[in-house]
Structure 1
Amino acid sequence: MEIAANPPLTGARPANDRAELSALARLAGPLVGANLLQMAVSAVDVIFVARLGTVDLAAATLGVFMFNLSMYALIGLTSAAAPLIAAELGRRKHAVREVRRSVRMALWVGAAGALPVLLILAHGETLLLLAGQDPEVSRRAGRFLDIILIAIIPGTAAGIMRTAAAALGRPGWAFVVTGLALAVSILTNWMLVFGNLGAPALGLEGSALASVISLTAMALAYAAIFRFDQRLRRYRLFGRWWVTEWSRFREIIRLGVPIMLTWIFEGALFGGAAVLMGLIGVNEVAAHAVALNIAAIAFQVPFGIAQAATIRVGMAYGARDRDWIARAGRVALILGIGFMGLTAAAIWATPRLFVSAYVDVDAPQNAVVVGLAVQYLALAAMFQLVDGAQAVAAGVLRGLQDTRVPMLIALFGYWVIGFGTSILLGFQAGWAGVGIWTGLAVGLLAVSILLMWRWYARERLGLLPRTA
């Protein structure tokens, strides 16, 4: 006999906003920490390879970008399991069986989606040559990708299990496992890149192999957690893994493809901005990289809140409790926008302090880059609020299983309004890098306004379930 579990973080409707805030914070905190650690994991390969020379550094940078973009897409695709699991827990009916089906089919979707990704990465050298990259850099990056592509399947599986653990009330494991992956990545890079502790000095290829080991370690760690954690093992998530559930498979694809495309549209917007910066000058590219990295670190907080909000709103959606839906969304939006307001104030007040973490702000040779980075950060401070708003608004809408229209909003806002404004102001108006960053801010503002409107018009648009 299967008994539906009800972990503390997936409990009944909160009595007030304070109770909802407490539940959201306990869920979001570990996810935010895991997101920040994941950024460090992604940076380790490049940091170690930087000592091997310019060609290998360029190859690692391109290879890591292609791999991370592919992994990001697959995790976005399979993240549709989060609102489905949350809704099942909210309904409290056959939760064990339904949760297991969602996780199992998310793993199937991830495996199916990995096949074309593996084919693309296996032709990395050809793709980079077609993109006009240096032949030697393309060759080295292709070799890097030939090895690291092995990590696509365990990396995707780890992402799915992380989502499931958070939705089932164990978000702390995401922080622990990502910390483990960071430690393994640092150790294996140190061993395999430079040949320490008796390991062969494999250079660039050693860094790729280190990524394979660290992501496989993540997947194995999550598998062990689901097997031995007293609260999670009752779901028996790997039981009957071969059994198909095509309706659930299609549901994950229906919700997941728009999420994947939304994430790609946003990531590609900032990548496209870097390309535009390259048309202006080297100093602009360097300053853009510094400012964007600072903004990306701050963004991990509302992104983690958005992930938690999807679960909280999803549970309320499954319970068909409209008051709870409203409360969960309201609290998440206030928390996300409020935090970004603090980061905006900090960046606005002390931009040089943030830039000093990346370059020596007092060195004369860095004066131009520092000056440009400070200008871009002034604009970044302005869009911190709207960036937080659009991230959390997208998260609460995902809790309502509303993903297709938000994807279209992202496409229009980021690429028609945002990128179009960057080109217009950066080149036609002659504002250069400031114009490009203004376009980014305008695009984020447009998306945040449209997503917020959709959230507050949810009843009129028919996005709510019938009242229980």
Structure 2
Amino acid sequence: MRTVPPKPPGPSTRATTLLRDSRALAGLAVPLVLTQLAQVALTTTDTVMMGLLSTRDLAAGGLALVIFNQLRTMGVGLVTSVGNRIAAAAARAESAGGDTAGGRDAVRGIVRASMAVATLAGLAGAALMLLTGQALTWLGQEAAVADRVQTTLLALAPGLLPCLWFQAVRQFTVGMRRPQALLRITLASVAVNAGLDWALIRGTWGLPALGLPGIGVATSVVYLLSFLALYASAKRDPVLAPLLRLNAAKADRATVRELVRLGVPIAATYGSEAGFFSVTALMAGSFGTAALAAHTAVNQLVYIVFQVAVGLSHAASINVSRELALGRADAARRIKNTALACAAAVMAAVALLYLTLPRLVLWPFLDPGAAGDAEAVSIATRLLFVIAVLQFFDCAQNIGVGLLRGLDDTKSGFRITLIGYWLIGLPAAWLLGYAAGLDTLGIWLGLLAGLASTAILLLRRYGASLRTHSRAAAVAA
């Protein structure tokens, strides 16, 4: 009897599948996206407060945040694979017939190892932050701006350690698919941060008037409070509490080495991207204070929208790890299209806002009526046309990194970002910014070229890696 091959899915079937997959992805992605947006409100609040002081304080504080975020992002990368490891361990325990003692022990070991990695990364990152501040004048920054950056970094450095502890516990809750407390805690931290910023800048409520460094002190305090709140919340969760073990001294060395093996390429990937943006910030600073202030404002907008991609990337990554642990390669393949479609819809809406209401978008950071801000507003308005396109590729490349992480392929992302950012994007930024005389606009066009190249290469790599994984699984079966 002849077998009739199945018909390929029609448009309606594909649309139904995409809608179903989008709802499934949104179940994990939406809390993460909202948490990311709330978390970036911390730095957005800081940036707005800096702008209230002066254009020079905005330039200096923005550069300090760029350096802080560079090291914070790399530290976060070291513990990002924790969520994937925990998701896979939980899925294997589920497929074996329930929550076994072995599965619980595996999760506890991963959590302890993640705290050990976070502690080492936090201490090393704080030291590097202070050393970087001392080298700013050698990198072409104005002396007055460099002095302000150094004092702000001194206040920010102590916050890196609790920030990374928070991220380790966060990855644990995400891997267990119970991230709901993250949003409540992060929203509360935004309010606390805004109040402390204002109090420490102005010297209200009996606190000293610290000016710009007060913003760094407030941020460090908020990171500590956020970690303590997340830990307390997890200890009250009946599912998470039995698995939460933070004693880094008892961490299994083999597990620590495994997390470091996976985490170093992720940290290098994140660092490669953050470093790319850090170098372009230094390039923008070479064109003057107004150019650096415009770059800081626009970069903060990109950073805000980027959180949508971060949430989608984490959710897609966790789901890929889970689906592959359950042997469902077809579902893992569909996750890419679902995540990219969701990201494109959001980016299109944001681009429309940039193009139709540029002054409103820039108003929280720069005042068009202020004499000192007029030039910065003019530069930033032109840059909005570039980032309207750039953000599509920025989101796509971050989702690509997450998808590869779901395959435990963390090295490819790093290699690809080296090519896209440093071999394509940075030379393009230099040529367009300096050689072609486009200044800050040329730098952002170079950023666009680098992000577009990286996104294309990452997504192609995911498709090839998934096919290889599927063939290997078929042979093993």
Verify the 8 A CA contact 2:285 2:292 in the aligned structure 1: yes
Verify the 8 A CA contact 2:141 2:282 in the aligned structure 1: no
- Which SS does the other structure have where 1:457 is aligned? helix
Which residue among 383, 396, 404 is the counterpart of 2:390? Answer: 383
Give 1:37's aligned residue: 38
Residue 119 of structure 1 pairs with residue 127 of structure 2 = yes
Deviations 1:300-343 (A, max 9, x none): 21221111111111111222321221122332222123322333
Cα distance in 2 for partners of 1:57, 1:373 equals 14
Verify the 8 A CA contact 2:56 2:289 in the aligned structure 1: no
Cα distance in 1 for partners of 2:76, 2:315 equals 16
Q: What is the alpha-carbon root mean square deviation over aligned residues?
A: 3.0
Cα distance in 2 for partners of 1:176, 1:394 equals 27
Change in CA separation of 1:17 and 1:233 when aligned onto 2, cut-off 3 Å: farther
Cα distance in 2 for partners of 1:62, 1:371 equals 20
Verify the 8 A CA contact 1:347 1:354 in the aligned structure 2: yes
Give 1:84's aligned residue: 85
Give 2:309's aligned residue: 302
Cα distance in 1 for partners of 2:154, 2:281 equals 26
Give 1:3's aligned residue: none
Aligned pairs for 1:126-145 (under 5 A) are 126-131=134-139, 133=141, 138=146, 141-145=149-153
Q: Following TM superposition, by how much is the alpha carbon of 1:243 offset from its aligned partner in structure 2, in angstroms?
A: 2.6
- Which SS does the other structure have where 2:473 is aligned? coil
Residue 268 of structure 1 pairs with residue 269 of structure 2 = no
Cα distance in 2 for partners of 1:205, 1:362 equals 27
Cα distance in 2 for partners of 1:192, 1:363 equals 24
Letter in 2 for 1:65: V
Which residue among 204, 207, 222 is the counterpart of 1:199? Answer: 207
Verify the 8 A CA contact 2:50 2:61 in the aligned structure 1: yes
Residue 329 of structure 1 pairs with residue 340 of structure 2 = no
- Which SS does the other structure have where 1:238 is aligned? coil
Percent of aligned pairs with the same residue?
A: 31
Which residue among 427, 433, 443 is the counterpart of 1:436? Answer: 443
Residue 233 of structure 1 pairs with residue 234 of structure 2 = no
Cα distance in 2 for partners of 1:336, 1:104 equals 34
Give 2:251's aligned residue: 244
Q: Following TM superposition, by how much is the alpha carbon of 1:429 offset from its aligned partner in structure 2, in angstroms?
A: 3.2
Verify the 8 A CA contact 1:390 1:447 in the aligned structure 2: yes
Change in CA separation of 1:286 and 1:133 when aligned onto 2, cut-off 3 Å: closer
Stretches of structure 1 lacking an aligned partner (at least 5 in a row) = 1-14
Change in CA separation of 1:69 and 1:427 when aligned onto 2, cut-off 3 Å: closer
TM norm structure 1: 0.86
Residue 208 of structure 1 pairs with residue 216 of structure 2 = yes
Letter in 1 for 2:398: A
Deviations 1:240-289 (A, max 9, x none): 65433222211211111111111122122223223333444554444433
Q: Following TM superposition, by how much is the alpha carbon of 1:452 offset from its aligned partner in structure 2, in angstroms?
A: 1.2
- Which SS does the other structure have where 1:458 is aligned? helix
Letter in 2 for 1:173: A
Stretches of structure 2 lacking an aligned partner (at least 5 in a row) = 1-15, 97-101
Q: Following TM superposition, by how much is the alpha carbon of 1:228 offset from its aligned partner in structure 2, in angstroms?
A: 0.6
TM norm structure 2: 0.84
Give 2:3's aligned residue: none
Letter in 1 for 2:459: M
Cα distance in 2 for partners of 1:212, 1:353 equals 30
Q: Following TM superposition, by how much is the alpha carbon of 1:136 offset from its aligned partner in structure 2, in angstroms?
A: 6.2
Q: Following TM superposition, by how much is the alpha carbon of 1:218 offset from its aligned partner in structure 2, in angstroms?
A: 0.8
- Which SS does the other structure have where 2:124 is aligned? helix
Cα distance in 2 for partners of 1:370, 1:243 equals 53
Verify the 8 A CA contact 2:291 2:440 in the aligned structure 1: yes
Which residue among 429, 433, 449 is the counterpart of 1:426? Answer: 433
Cα distance in 2 for partners of 1:405, 1:412 equals 11
Residue 354 of structure 1 pairs with residue 361 of structure 2 = yes
Give 2:405's aligned residue: 398
Q: How many residues align?
A: 453
Q: Following TM superposition, by how much is the alpha carbon of 1:418 offset from its aligned partner in structure 2, in angstroms?
A: 0.9
Higher mean C-alpha displacement, 411-420 vs 139-148: 139-148
Q: Following TM superposition, by how much is the alpha carbon of 1:141 offset from its aligned partner in structure 2, in angstroms?
A: 4.5
Higher mean C-alpha displacement, 381-390 vs 184-193: 184-193
Q: Following TM superposition, by how much is the alpha carbon of 1:184 offset from its aligned partner in structure 2, in angstroms?
A: 2.1
Aligned pairs for 1:20-99 (under 5 A) are 20-48=21-49, 60-92=61-93, 94-99=102-107
Letter in 2 for 1:41: L
Deviations 1:65-93 (A, max 9, x none): 33332222111111111211122122225
Which residue among 180, 183, 196 is the counterpart of 1:188? Answer: 196
Cα distance in 2 for partners of 1:241, 1:288 equals 40
Q: Following TM superposition, by how much is the alpha carbon of 1:190 offset from its aligned partner in structure 2, in angstroms?
A: 3.5
Higher mean C-alpha displacement, 205-214 vs 167-176: 205-214
Residue 171 of structure 1 pairs with residue 209 of structure 2 = no
Cα distance in 2 for partners of 1:365, 1:90 equals 57
